[in-house]
């Protein structure tokens, strides 16, 4: 109900809010955040610019929600893995790496690419940064639980964590310059590489 839209389109199945999020995801990742106007987002979602404000307070809210949606599933999986303390840490770390690469490269738009936006550093997105820091800490803990990692001094452990985490996030850049690469094999190869960096 409510006034009909000016331009009717086939039903996407998504709620208007989700249509806005999907439109924002595509535009933010391809054109950038600042370069994307509220009009562009609204129109791609099938409504007029002003109608967008019925669902969200503005662009910021869209970016904040998209950002969190990229890390939250990773963190959930990472925590599951961390809890399984009877399986060897090596295999769990490998699983985490593979899954993260698949999550980063899997979606329709390069959602991980949102993390590259300079605006993301703003205080407004502290929530995202907190979740990301937790995810990184899970990497550190898994690394420390491996046989090779258990022997490391703290500073060396931190360094390896940064290198492994950097490799995984660097995947966003690789994916950006070659979006059509088959994901599964690439995710496994990256996980292999991560373990080699970790010293396993």
Partner DNA sequence: ATTATCTATAGATCTATAGATAATGC
- For binding to DNA (CB under 7 A), which residues are involved? 1-7, 16, 37-39, 47-51, 53-55, 58-59
Task: Give the angle subtended at the CA of 177 by the CAs of 176 and 182, to the nearest 5°.
Answer: 80
When CB distances are held under 5 to 8 angstroms depending on the partner's kind, the choice from DNA, a copy of itself, none that residue 38 binds is DNA
In degrees to the nearest 10, what's the CA dihedral of 9, 11, 16, 22?
-90
CB-based contacts of 73, cutoff 8 Å, min separation 6: 103
Report yes or no: 12 and 19 within 8 Å, Cβ to Cβ. yes
Length of the chain: 200
Q: Is 137 exposed, middle or buried (0-12, 13-18, 19+ CB in 10 A)?
A: middle
Q: Which is nearer to a copy of itself, 82 or 174 (CB)?
A: 174
Q: Is 32 in the site for a copy of itself (CB under 8 A)?
A: yes
Indicate which single residue of 60, 61, 65, 119 sits in contact with a copy of itself (rule: CB under 8 A): 119
Report yes or no: 124 and 64 within 8 Å, Cβ to Cβ. yes
Report yes or no: 36 and 27 within 8 Å, Cβ to Cβ. yes
Shortest Å, Cβ 52 to DNA: 8
Binding part of the chain for a copy of itself, among 2-10, 55-63, 67-75, 166-174 by CB under 8 A, reads 166-174
CB-based contacts of 159, cutoff 8 Å, min separation 6: none
Indicate which single residue of 40, 82, 117, 145 sits in contact with a copy of itself (rule: CB under 8 A): 117
Q: Is 147 in the site for a copy of itself (CB under 8 A)?
A: no
Indicate which single residue of 2, 6, 86, 121 sits in contact with a copy of itself (rule: CB under 8 A): 121
Indicate which single residue of 54, 73, 173, 179 sits in contact with a copy of itself (rule: CB under 8 A): 173
DSSP, collapsed to helix, strand or coil, labels residue 117 as coil
Q: Which is nearer to DNA, 2 or 108 (CB)?
A: 2
When CB distances are held under 5 to 8 angstroms depending on the partner's kind, the choice from DNA, a copy of itself, none that residue 91 binds is none
Q: Rounded to whole angstroms, how far apart are CA atoms 60 and 34?
A: 10
The site for a copy of itself (CB under 8 A) is made up of 28-35, 113, 115-119, 121, 159, 162-163, 165-174, 178, 186, 189-190, 193, 196-197, 199
């Amino acid at each position: 109900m409510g006034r009909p839209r000016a331009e009717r389109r086939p039903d996407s199945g998504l709620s208007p809010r989700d249509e806005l999020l999907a439109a924002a995801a595509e535009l933010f990742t391809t054109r950038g955040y600042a370069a994307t106007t509220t009009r562009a987002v609204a129109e791609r979602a099938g409504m007029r610019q002003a109608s967008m404000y019925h669902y969200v307070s503005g662009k910021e809210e869209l970016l904040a929600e998209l950002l969190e949606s990229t890390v939250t599933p990773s963190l959930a999986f990472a925590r599951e893995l961390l809890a399984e303390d009877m399986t060897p840490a090596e295999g769990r770390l490998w699983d985490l790496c593979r899954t993260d690469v698949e999550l980063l490269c899997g979606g329709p738009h390069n959602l991980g690419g949102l993390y590259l936006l300079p605006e993301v550093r703003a205080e407004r997105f502290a929530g995202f940064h907190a979740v990301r820091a937790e995810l990184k800490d899970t990497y550190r803990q898994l690394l420390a639980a491996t046989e090779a990692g258990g022997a490391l001094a703290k500073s060396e452990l931190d360094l390896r964590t940064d290198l492994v985490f950097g490799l995984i996030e660097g995947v966003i850049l690789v994916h950006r310059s070659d979006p059509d690469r088959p994901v599964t094999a690439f995710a496994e190869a990256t996980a292999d590489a991560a373990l080699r960096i970790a010293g396993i």
